[in-house]
Copies of this chain bind each other. A is one copy, B any other.
Amino acid sequence: MAKIPVGILGATGMVGQNYIALLNNHPWFKVCYVAASPRSAGKKYAEAVAGRWQLIDTYAPHVGELVVQDANDVSQAVAAFKRKRCAFVFSALEMGKAETAALEEAYAAAGIPVISNASAHRWTPDVPVLIPEVNPHHVDIIPIQQKARGWKKGFIAVKPNCSIQSYMIPLQALVQEGFLIKRLVVTTMQAVSGAGYPGVPSLDMIDNIVPYIGGEEEKSEKEPLKIFGTIVNGTLKNASMPKISACCNRVPVIDGHTACIYLEFGSKKPSVDEIKKIWAAFKGLPQELKFPMAPEQPIIYREEDNRPQPRKDRDLDKGMAVVIGRLRPCNVFDVRFTALSHNTVRGAAGGGILNAELLKSKGYI
């Protein structure tokens, strides 16, 4: 199969860099179009990121040669897409929310599907917020979205915030076995890469933690309800459960968000052993269909009492697995555990690529 040409909006930023690094050698997709702010436009990609490339893995040589386009220039994109037969864009835009929302809509209206990492459209009612292991059926909103907006080929699909990745798949595994979750308390300890570059000052992260990340707690509490929601009358209706209370902290870790999670089930309560079995057996659509970016084992449970640890466990299964440990009864609710997810892979570009693989497999791109 010839690889599908794809574009990246916001290609020079940190999330854009992650997309480009993770798409090196991707068996389905190949980066053929890069766009960024007017400041970078007109330069070769290699030149545009010189001295700003933050990752250990580098970009593919052919990407270094691409001329960066102005992300605001949609008509240019349309022309180039036709010329290069590009199928869709990953949006890693880092502008303000309103601008991002408008620009993503302009691309979709112009016939270019937008698979976005940005938060701008997460609360747009006809835009699905996808975690392929959890709510792959939400792609069914796309035709409704297209019809309502008069878009033909274009659409917008997004991924949720990085802070919820460590608990959504484990919760889904339990929910689909009939164990409803009423309430959830979560404290996150989040890595600095989540704030981009330059991001968090070192004066705040040496011998210190910062007990606040703007907007993160609201996202952690609300986005799960949309993901667990259902399509009703052409719109995504939020689930009413679980109620979530989150405290989000920044800690001196490069990559990997860790969360301490306390769960209250409904009347049907699994034992610790049942939960471990459910997690060990869990496979989602990405595993069944063997998507290239899918982890083989989406939930890895570690029996050691001092795991998961971000530096040692974040890269398991390409950084796409959730790593869990310390599952035990809770004095206040039913059970508690600690979970880890790689925020720039599963929580950002890797999750976006998995969404693209889902949308490809469903025939939307």
Contacts and interface: CB of A to CB of B under 8 A. Distances in A.
B200 A201 contact: yes
A249 interface: yes
Given A187-B260, A198-B203, A208 B311 contact: yes
A25 interface: no
A197 interface: yes
Contacts of A325: 211
Interface string A161-203: 0000000000000000000000111010100110001111111
A331 B207 contact: no
B309 A210 contact: yes
Nearest to A14: B203
Contacts of A258: 209, 211, 249
A233 interface: no
A306 B211 CA distance: 6
A282 interface: no
A311 B201 contact: no
With most chain B CB atoms within 10 A of its CB, the pick from A51, A204, A331 is: A331
Contact of A306 (B210, B311, B330, B338): B210
Contact of A183 (B315, B326, B332): B332
B338 A247 contact: yes
A260 B249 contact: yes
Nearest to A308: B211
Contact of A253 (B201, B207, B260, B306): B207
B209 A262 contact: no
Contacts of A251: 189, 209, 251-252
A288 interface: no
A333 interface: yes
A310 interface: yes
A273 interface: no
A331 B306 CA distance: 29
A50 to B, nearest CB: 8
Interface string A316-334: 0000000001100011110
B332 A211 contact: no
A221 B192 CA distance: 31
A244 interface: yes
A24 interface: no
Contacts of A184: 332
A2 interface: no
B326 A212 contact: yes
Contacts of A210: 306, 309
A338 B247 CA distance: 9
Given A203-B199, A331-B245, A333-B245, A309 B208 contact: yes
Contacts of A197: 201, 203
Given A197-B201, A203-B199, A310 B185 contact: no
Contact of A243 (B50, B207, B243, B332): B332
Contacts of A221: 331
26 contacts: A56-B315, A184-B332, A187-B247, A187-B260, A189-B249, A193-B203, A198-B203, A199-B202, A202-B206, A203-B254, A205-B206, A206-B207, A208-B309, A208-B310, A209-B253, A211-B260, A211-B306, A211-B308, A211-B325, A211-B326, A245-B330, A245-B331, A245-B336, A247-B260, A247-B336, A251-B252
Question: Which 6 pairs across A and B sit closest by C-beta, in order of nearness?
Answer: A187-B187, A198-B201, A202-B205, A247-B260, A245-B332, A208-B311
